[in-house]
Structure 1
Amino acid sequence: MKTLLRLLFACLATVLLFCAVLVFFGVSDTPDVALKWSLTPADIMRAKKILHEGSKTKPDEIGTLELTRADLNLATNYLLNRYSKSAVNISVKENKLKFIVTATLPENRLGKYVNITFRLGNEDNNPLPSLTKFKAGKLLLPSKLAELVISKVIEHTSLKDYFILATHPIEAVRIDADKIVITYHSNRETLAKARDLLTHGTEKTALNPYQQQLLDVLAHHDPNWRLSLAELLKPLFALAYQRSTLDTAIEENKQVIFTVNDYVNKEGQQALPSHLLDATSIRQTPTFLYKRIDLAQHFIGSATITASANGQLAQMMGEEKELSDAKSGSGFSFVDLTADKAGTRFGEVATASPESARKLQKIMSEITHYRDFMPDPTHFPEHMNEAEFKKRYGSIESPIYKKLVKQIDAQVAGVAIYKTQ
């Protein structure tokens, strides 16, 4: 028994020591990879195409995916920047993938960035790559120890389900000088688990407190009147203010935003599961801002992207959507773009810090109108097809375009809720 306890404590000490070394040597005020990498609309479209390539393979079939080094860098940077301001540089050397990763840290006394370098390669004819080298900053650490500790951290954290779903379908990875070939096999069970996990992983038969609050709002809403986005956000943030502490405020705000977005945009798991709606007299009611459904969708959609990823990505996706609409849709709209920008700012304030999160909860629980968080954008130009947009503004890099965007930014910044932050 004593031997077992000693072994357990030795393993724990090894993990703690490894983490301490990682923090001490990996954290720095200087990034190893410049964080100037930015997504263009073309980058976003290409990254999405790469990441959705696997969906072409039917369940229970073997599929292959070929990626160039440029593809791998683009897709990885796109994913990383959904969660924090980060950058990765991936290169191929001697049939091994070398990753240099820099991630921005929350404000702390140790440093602004964490820098990690590692290599993946196929050893002993293994079809799946393993960790062959690992560095925290400039300190080289044993790859086997790093691999063991990383696997233990994943196994005992919320990353476990995501890691299994990401790696379990992969049968083999071949690393060539000019491309990486991934062979994968996804069965129906894996795809079902992925769908459930990526829609917040909640039970389909249960309501979280914010879903229940939203249900109560709909139950008391007069169907003869438009449903304002403020009518959803105000009571849900009031509930968040009651439930939260300083430590939990950011997560509670995210749940509010995710719940409202699921209802307004009807994407992924519904905020109100259909079987619960069927059992009541409550019906799905469109949500409005300035008498427009699309503005509510743009606002809360951008807030959701920002709360779960980052503001830069939300803004670029907003511009990409408007450029796409100019080609084949309702046309480029600075009105929609204003809603995107306001939603992005809202998501930033909701999750910037525990203090900011708590302050927003209190303010939102006392609002009287959606003007308190969304400026009136209806005077801005919209419904421009591609030809008209190019004639009037040239491109999103032109001075006249940037001047109008600056006016939109100023109008958003002038809203009282954002002034106080």
Structure 2
Amino acid sequence: MRFLAWLAASLLLSLLVVFFLLVAALEPAPLVTRGETISPASIAQAKLLLARNDPRRLARGDERTADLPAALIDDGVNHLANRLLHGRGAFVMGEDSAQIRLSVRVPGLPGPRFLNLGAVFKEAEGEPHVASATLGSLPVPAALIELLMASAIKLAGFGDDWQLARQSIRRLMFEPGRGVVVITYVWEPEILDRALALAFTPEDLLHLEAAQRALAGLLDHHGPRARVPLPEILGTLLAHTGDGSLVQRRAALLVLATHQSGQSLVRLLPQARQWPRPRPVKLILLGRGDSAQHFAISAALAAWAGEPAANAIGVYKEVEDARHGSGFSFADLAADRAGTRFGQLVADASPRLNAALGRTLTDADLAPALGGLPEYLSESEFQRRFGGSGNAAYAQVMAEIERRLAALPLYR
């Protein structure tokens, strides 16, 4: 009995020490102050990085060296901090080290109180390790941070996946002059398999197959090149072909976006080869096929990856169109923003969305009028008239798009 009493007292004392250390580490100001946006440049960098290191072209044991843009890592850290912790994050690179910074506001305390964490990584051979760490102004043993990180990842069910990814790294180097982190790694195909397993749970797969079959059924009675209103298909997919859960609705949006992009889910999920493929029917929104495509893809991106990622990809796509395609289009951006707002309503399980799905959806429910929004701008014309995304003229048009969106009951 004495031993049990001693053990209980020791555990209580340890918890009290940890509690008071955390309270002492709280600070009145955040270490990281920034928005939650992702830059279109990061989307371009991610696309180029994937093209240069396409895992489908690698064999087991291949050793590769990749240059990861520090700005891309910085945006990624901030995005994950926002999505997982409702905080902010940053990646700051030095000559032979880099620091990951996190700031999370602690609710329920008088005045603003923030938990600020800094973890430093050094250049090294082999898998990366934390070299030093701070919690607020308090130094924290690096081994403790490693243990806490490993425990949290394991509790989340990703322990084996995290360990496999870390063990594949052979060397880590920082080159601030070029603004890149150089990683040498050995490819293991299991990394991709596990990444897909993390992205799509067994429940996701069941709902994706059901959504694919439902979409194929909805389009089956239309002619191969028919023009079908997007709201008609979207409303039925979300309201009448599943249980109304977030998983079901995200699956429906992804299937719809894949169809709209002209791609096949087989590229992501080989088992989708056995599922029926919807007819190549053209869905339209506001009388336009491109608006339906932009809306559907942005809605899926927002529901799966969040609104900042969807916004950044939409702007990136228009910049690319200005350079090599049909030209920059604010009308397309309006459809993107409408889709993004819709996808966020799905992610938030919005009562407004549930109410809208209880009636017949129309174009006017989903997207604003596009009249007067400049389109088909070449790169030179876009630069002459709007001077880039930070220009006042650009901001004025984007504000008009947001005003039109805010006038729609669904997005108020």
Change in CA separation of 1:215 and 1:58 when aligned onto 2, cut-off 3 Å: closer
Q: Which runs of 5+ in 1 are unaligned?
A: 245-249
Change in CA separation of 1:239 and 1:113 when aligned onto 2, cut-off 3 Å: farther
SS at match of 1:277: coil
SS at match of 2:99: strand
The yes-or-no answer on 1:197 pairing with 2:194 is no
Distance 1:378 1:133 in 2: 56
Change in CA separation of 1:15 and 1:368 when aligned onto 2, cut-off 3 Å: farther
Structure 1 partner of 2:187 = 186
Structure 1 partner of 2:369 = 376
Q: Is the 8 A contact 2:215 2:256 kept in 1?
A: no
Deviations 1:191-227 (CA, angstroms, capped at 9, x unpaired): 3444x336524489x532x642552354244304533
Distance 2:33 2:301 in 1: 23
The yes-or-no answer on 1:78 pairing with 2:80 is no
Change in CA separation of 1:164 and 1:365 when aligned onto 2, cut-off 3 Å: farther
* TM-score after normalising by structure 1: 0.76
% same residue: 25
Structure 2 partner of 1:33 = 32
The AA in structure 1 aligned to 2:393 is I
Structure 2 partner of 1:88 = 90
**Which shifted more, 129-138 or 250-259?**
250-259
Q: Is the 8 A contact 1:295 1:336 kept in 2?
A: yes
Q: Which runs of 5+ in 2 are unaligned?
A: none
Structure 1 partner of 2:410 = 417
Structure 2 partner of 1:344 = 340
Task: Write the mapping of 1:21-420 to structure 2, written as runs, cut at 5 A.
Answer: 24=23, 30-35=29-34, 40-50=39-49, 53-55=52-54, 58-60=58-60, 61-66=62-67, 71-72=69-70, 74-83=71-80, 84=82, 86-92=88-94, 95-102=96-103, 108-110=107-109, 114-121=115-122, 127-160=126-159, 163-164=162-163, 166-174=165-173, 180-194=181-195, 196-197=196-197, 200-202=200-202, 207-208=206-207, 211-213=209-211, 215-221=213-219, 222-224=221-223, 225-238=226-239, 243-244=244-245, 253-265=249-261, 269=265, 273-277=272-276, 283-352=279-348, 357-377=350-370, 379-419=372-412
* TM-score after normalising by structure 2: 0.77
Q: CA deviation at 1:283?
A: 3.1
Distance 1:117 1:213 in 2: 43
Q: CA deviation at 1:277?
A: 1.0
Distance 1:241 1:362 in 2: 16
Distance 2:125 2:284 in 1: 56
Structure 2 partner of 1:247 = none
Change in CA separation of 1:97 and 1:397 when aligned onto 2, cut-off 3 Å: closer
Deviations 1:276-304 (CA, angstroms, capped at 9, x unpaired): 216xxx53534321233322221122223
**Which shifted more, 368-377 or 21-30?**
21-30
Q: CA deviation at 1:62?
A: 0.9
Distance 2:241 2:115 in 1: 32
Deviations 1:354-388 (CA, angstroms, capped at 9, x unpaired): 6xx24322322323313212223255332222233
Q: Is the 8 A contact 2:100 2:119 kept in 1?
A: yes
User: How many residues were matched structurally?
Assistant: 392
The AA in structure 2 aligned to 1:142 is P
Q: Is the 8 A contact 2:74 2:92 kept in 1?
A: no
Q: Is the 8 A contact 1:199 1:269 kept in 2?
A: no
Aligned Cα root-mean-square deviation (Å): 4.1
Deviations 1:306-358 (CA, angstroms, capped at 9, x unpaired): 33334334323322211211111011112111101111222333334x6xx24
Distance 2:397 2:25 in 1: 42
SS at match of 2:94: strand
Change in CA separation of 1:10 and 1:216 when aligned onto 2, cut-off 3 Å: farther
Distance 2:202 2:11 in 1: 32
Q: Is the 8 A contact 1:103 1:114 kept in 2?
A: yes
Distance 1:269 1:287 in 2: 18
Distance 2:407 2:251 in 1: 26
Q: Is the 8 A contact 1:235 1:365 kept in 2?
A: no
Q: Is the 8 A contact 1:33 1:89 kept in 2?
A: no
Change in CA separation of 1:28 and 1:261 when aligned onto 2, cut-off 3 Å: farther
Distance 1:266 1:104 in 2: 43
Deviations 1:111-156 (CA, angstroms, capped at 9, x unpaired): 675421112236xx86333223232323333322221232122123
The AA in structure 2 aligned to 1:101 is L
